[in-house]
Amino acid sequence: MNLDLLVRVPVGLLPVMMFLVILLYLDSYKLTGFRTVLWVIVAGAGATVLSYFANGVLYDLLPFEFDQFSRYVAPIIEEGLKALIIIYLFRTSRIGFLVDSAIMGFAVGAGFAVAENIHYLYRAGDAQMGVWIVRGFGTAVMHGGVTAIFAIFSQVLTERNMKINPFLYLPGLVAAITLHSLFNH
């Protein structure tokens, strides 16, 4: 195995997972079980696979150049799929407190980012170290952060209204898509 790759893999994968571990450590309530967090990370990775295929199909169908597609279409697909996992967690009462929504949102995004970076390592493992620094510290944390923002917005709005109304998920989803799009710019 290439020595450079031994450096690129941790730079591309560890920052987001370390941040998730810190969030779990800071959770003083400890109501979010470790097994549930692992399941959510795997679900986030599954969203990566689904988005890979959905983005591929839509890229072939829509008249966008790659830059336009990655700025305006891919964030909708990716954030929508990650949001479905969070909505499932709300609907099954697996998220109860604001800190839980932040942790679970970040876990979904972390799983998404790790799977995406593994794919990039496979496809472009010889990319310069700067790419892996951006992917590990930028893109990966962005995926976790924007999904956490979606989850927090959704928690606050549904709690405040004492009901789960699908329209109450829209502000958080719009925020996540917008931030993702801005990051891709």
pLDDT digits 0-9 by tens, 81-140: 999 999 999 989 888 889 899 999 999 999 999 999 888 888 887 778 888 888 888 888
* pTM of the model as a whole: 0.90
Q: How confident is the model at residue 16 (pLDDT cuts 50, 70, 90)?
A: confident
Distances (CA, A) of 94 to 9, 25, 39, 149, 167: 32, 19, 12, 17, 20
- Classify residue 125 by its DSSP letter: T
C-alpha–C-alpha distance, residues 96 and 98, integer Å: 7
Q: Which residue, 87, 182, 95, 86, is CA-closest to 142? A: 182
Closest CA to 172 of 146, 139, 141: 146
Tens digits of residue pLDDT in 35-92: 888 899 999 999 999 999 999 999 999 999 999 999 999 999 999 999 999 999 998 9
Task: Provide the residue count of the chain.
Answer: 185
Residue type for position 87: I
pLDDT-derived band at 5, boundaries 50, 70, 90: low
Contact 164, 90 (CB under 8 A): yes
- C-alpha dihedral, 159 to 162 to 164 to 165, nearest 10°: -110
Residue-wise pLDDT for 150-176, tens only, equals 999 999 998 877 766 889 999 999 999
| Token representation of residue 153 | 């917005």
pLDDT of 2: 62
> Whole-angstrom Cα distance, residue 116 to residue 13?
10
Residue with tokens 């689904």: 50
Residue written as tokens 């795997």? 42
At 28, the pLDDT band (50, 70, 90 cuts) reads low
User: 45 Cβ partners below 8 Å, 6+ apart?
Assistant: 111, 112, 114, 115
Whether pLDDT at 18 is above 90: no
